[in-house]
Amino acid sequence: MEPENVTWITEFLLLGLSEEPELQPLVFGFFLSMYLITVFGNLLIILAISSDSHLHTPMYFFLSNLSLVDICFTSTTIPKMLVNIQTQSKVITYEGCITQMYFYVLFVGLDNFILTMMAYDRFVAICHPLHYTVIMNPQLCELLILVSWIMSALTSLLQSLMALRLSFCTDLEIPQFFCELNQVIQLACSNTFLSNMVMYFSAGLLGRGPFAGILYSYTKILSCIHGMASAQGKYKAFSTCASHLSVVSLFYCTSLGVYLSSAATHSSHPSATTSVMYTVVTPMLNPFIYSLRNKDIKGALKGFFVKETTKGAIVLGLKKCP
């Protein structure tokens, strides 16, 4: 781009999914419903795990952290989109855009790391069952989560600082419903070589690295399952991975879909529409995937509601007493 049109900017324009006014109420209702389901569903998972001592295990510790990150992940993008639709505005401030990019990259990185930890947890449980409690001790689990937060936060901070160095021209339209780092870099008039290099490095650290760890863990798991003698043992071992495999497949397949759609076409709408899958749909489906096939989670949820109902009945009864 030509440098003579560089100007100091105070805001960007988020084009969203559709510019047709008659579709905005439908889009608003659709995303509001999915956001509420995501928050409510993941909160239920956290409450179920925290209220049942039988679920205080490494697998459910990672699952509760995944649910927390998913709530934060969707809260980074969807509320701003809903506000813009309600106020019939496409504006996001420059500071708001940089902040949104920071938290978006942060929670995407955490999602990747936690999914990798869950794969490693399943690998240890299936391939080294006798040493599981020794290897996956609480201190290690907490340390893994802490390191993930630190690495994601530092990487996200680096990318945000690189974005602050960029200068922009008069074209400030972002063909997304949120401030996506790649789209913002493409709008820059200044040299973006260093920003692109940092972005690709971060993608390798937060995306390809964890994905390689997941592939390695499941390669070992399949090898261990193949070596088991009984068919029942194989089925039981594989069933413990089914939910995690479903979430991993959904997350990475939709992410790959976004990459391919943006590479194959210059139109913004296919990429924006595909982005909905991993920014909204995947966090929304995670609680269903982990609860519908999981007797422990369903039992914990049932116990939680029974306990709360009983408490409510007792309080109501005490209020009625003279």
Hey, how many other C-beta atoms are within 10 angstroms of the C-beta on 273? 16
Q: Per residue in 110-124, is it b (16+ CB within 10 Å) or e — as a string?
A: bbbbbbbbbbbbbbb
Give dist(CA 10, CA 7) in Å, integer.
Answer: 10
DSSP 8-state secondary structure symbol assigned to residue 165: T
Give dist(CA 195, CA 238) in Å, integer.
Answer: 42
How is residue 74 written in tokens? 């969707």
Per-residue pLDDT of the chain (322 residues; tens, 9 = 90+): 444 455 567 889 998 887 787 888 999 999 999 999 999 999 999 998 998 888 899 999 999 999 999 999 999 999 999 999 999 889 999 999 999 999 999 999 999 999 999 999 999 999 999 999 999 999 999 999 999 999 999 999 999 999 998 888 877 888 888 998 888 888 888 888 898 898 888 888 888 889 999 999 999 999 998 888 788 878 888 788 888 888 888 888 877 766 666 555 555 454 677 778 778 888 998 888 887 767 778 777 777 777 767 766 565 565 665 5
The CA-based dihedral angle spanning residues 136, 140, 143, 147, taken in that order and rounded to the nearest 10 degrees: -60
Q: Contact 62/118 with Cβ under 8 angstroms?
A: yes
Hey, how many other C-beta atoms are within 10 angstroms of the C-beta on 100? 23
Give dist(CA 146, CA 141) in Å, integer.
Answer: 9
Give dist(CA 305, CA 300) in Å, integer.
Answer: 9
Hey, how many other C-beta atoms are within 10 angstroms of the C-beta on 78? 23
**β-sheet with 11-14: strand ranges across:** 91-93, 11-14, 173-174
Question: Which residue stretches of the chain are H helix?
Answer: 24-51, 58-86, 94-127, 132-135, 138-164, 181-187, 193-203, 209-226, 231-264, 268-276, 282-292, 295-320
